[in-house]
A and B are shown apart, each in its own frame.
Chain A
Amino acid sequence: MSGHDHGDDGVSRRKVLECMTWAGTGVLWTITGGVPRSLGIIDSAEAATAAAPGMTFLQISDSHVGFDKPANPNALGTLEEAVNKINAMPAKPSFMIHTGDITHLSKASEFDNADRIISQSKLDVHYVPGEHDFLDEEVKFYRDRYGRGTKGAGWYSFDAGGVHFVGLVNVVDLKAGGLGNLGTEQLAWLEDDLRGKSKSTPIVLFAHIPLWTVYPEWGWGTDDGGRALEFVKGFGSVTVLNGHIHQVMQKVEGNVTFHTARSTAFPQPAPGAAPSPGPMKVEDAKLRSMLGVASINFKQNEQRLAIIDTPLQG
């Protein structure tokens, strides 16, 4: 089990704290007075108890429904396992966000299957698209299902439990040689959306591709993600969630916590650990420990935020 505690290293509020963690079971995060603190690796039962009070929402990502290659011949089956896990949680989350790659090839049947399984959670789901959801020529399937009430290619914001949530799209108009892309129109909208918000409002940004530079050699980052992050600089608590890289990774920088979710479909290698970011074939017995969901807890008034990753199987 990897991971390290960075709560007691005497870091001042102003000093930039940077840390990445690959976690196996779950990592509980709290933010107190703008200072993030990892409580370390915990087991999912403890996590469920710790997360009980306050507002809890769930993140699910990279379902890749339709994927049937050796890394996981039954991506729909593991999505269903994830939904069963969600249904078995002791405290029902308020809602769910899906950070993209719902499907593998943007086929109508894949969207149908994903919807059939995900709807069994009986939770409201807020989606952002991954590049795999935009493969049909007119990007009609994603838009028709999930685009209602969104702007541009599908971005939007909403408020829940005193937290301001912003769903961003960084998988369109990608430029040769570049990374993910938000574009000027979306950035202008974001700046406007955040204008006038109290700096004590907790902000959650979510998008498919990481907004921070994880590993540019594999395209794991967003060219203009830094501009989006500038708009949230003054806020006391900012959480940035994404999928795309199919593994848990965290970074804390000032008041911003970055966190990536596991896929429910197949694992991808750690940066640079393989010739490409393609699907990683692991022993069958190990697969379910590398897939899963994340639940995020926010306790009002206490400025505490906790992220708990739960694999399909310990």
Chain B
Amino acid sequence: MKTLNRRDFSVAVAAAILLPVTTARADDTNMEVHIDNFVFQPAELKIKVGTTVTWTNRDDIPHTVVSAGKFRSKALDTDDKFSFTFTEAGDYKYFCSLHPHMTGMIKVE
């Protein structure tokens, strides 16, 4: 997981001002989960309130990301992404509604 410290972050922001299309994204308010081989990686993620998590499906089979009553992605084809911003603390269990043995957890503090 790529995380930048505060100093790198301000450099990244400066870069972003100069080049608006660069990837100044990997700060601690943006986290990523990958789906590889029918597994959410990391399976458990600890984040702060306000963080946006982006899931990317890297399998050749579609998957979904579903947390009952909280969020529900469409079917994600290969390389499709789904993002959700967590505005409330709590434990968010989620799963793939097509392959329910695939489960994950986002812990928001």
Contacts and interface: CB of A to CB of B under 8 A. Distances in A.
Co-assembled chains A and B: yes
Interface of A: 67, 69-71, 104-106, 131-132, 135, 137, 174-179, 216-219, 275-279
Given A69-B60, A105-B62, 20 more contacts: A69-B78, A105-B77, A135-B74, A135-B98, A137-B74, A174-B98, A174-B100, A175-B100, A176-B68, A176-B93, A176-B95, A177-B100, A179-B100, A179-B101, A216-B101, A275-B37, A276-B59, A277-B38, A278-B37, A279-B61
20 contacts: A105-B75, A105-B77, A106-B75, A132-B98, A135-B74, A135-B98, A174-B97, A176-B100, A177-B103, A178-B100, A216-B101, A217-B101, A219-B99, A219-B101, A276-B38, A276-B39, A278-B37, A278-B38, A278-B60, A279-B61
A177 B95 contact: yes
**Which 10 residue pairs across A and B have the least CB separation, nearest first?**
A276-B37, A176-B95, A135-B75, A69-B60, A276-B38, A174-B100, A219-B101, A275-B37, A131-B98, A178-B100
Given A69-B78, A177-B95, A278-B37, A135 B101 contact: no
Nearest to B60: A69
Nearest to B37: A276
B62 A135 contact: yes
A275 B50 CA distance: 34
A16 to B, nearest CB: 27
A255 to B, nearest CB: 30
Interface of B: 37-39, 59-62, 68, 74-75, 77-78, 93-95, 97-101, 103
Contacts of A218: 38, 101
B76 to A, nearest CB: 10
A39 B72 CA distance: 49
Nearest to B74: A137
Nearest to A279: B60
Nearest to A281: B60
A135 B75 CA distance: 6
Given A176-B93, A216-B101, A217-B101, A278 B61 contact: yes
Nearest to A176: B95
A70 B59 CA distance: 12
Interface hub of B59, B101, B103 (most chain A Cβ within 10 A): B101
Contacts of B74: 135, 137
A177 B77 CA distance: 21
A176 B93 CA distance: 9
A69 B94 CA distance: 27
Nearest to A275: B37
Contacts of A177: 95, 100-101, 103
Contacts of B38: 218, 276-278
A277 B61 CA distance: 10
B97 to A, nearest CB: 6
